[in-house]
Amino acid sequence: MRRYLFEAEYTDGFVYRATQRDESIYEPKRNAYFDVMNKLAADHGRLTRWTLLPQGGTVRLDIDFTRLPENTKPIWYIKRQRDRTVQRVNDTDVVISDTIFELCYGFGYEYTDEAGNIVKEVREVT
């Protein structure tokens, strides 16, 4: 289970909430962040609020996109670690087991200012 999910609110009040299944509501086989990054909810207006929601985690972050430039993009990622164990059963058979750990979640925004500089603010939470 993910410790954090995100929520994106738009000008008309529509709220897009990521779920534990992390599935796009617009594009099959894509994740929820794909929808937000590719502005698939653009018919609801501009992104106005970008929120990191705790689901067992302890930090809630809210970013007011109305105070940021129009070209601002939301940032969301999960850093993971995979541990793989290989165990020999006999001369020809092995058993492989994978364990994936979520180390931290990245959340923030990025935009290009008038001078062409990239301005980026990201917070990583565990």
Cβ pair 15, 23 in contact under 8 A = no
Q: In whole angstroms, what is the distance from residue 27 CA to residue 78 CA? A: 21
pLDDT at 80: 86
Judge contact between 62 and 54, C-beta under 8 A: no
- 67 φ/ψ angles, rounded to the nearest 5 degrees: -95, 5
Domains held by the chain: number:
1
* Strand spans (E) along the chain: 4-10, 15-17, 47-54, 61-64, 73-88, 94-112, 118-125
Q: What are phi and psi of 54, to 5 degrees?
A: -70, 135
Looking at per-residue pLDDT, the higher value among 62 and 88 belongs to 62
Across the chain, what does the average pLDDT equal?
A: 92
Is the pLDDT at 88 greater than 90? The verdict is no
Where is average pLDDT lowest: 40-49, 78-87, 89-98? 89-98
Range of the domain at 53: 4-125
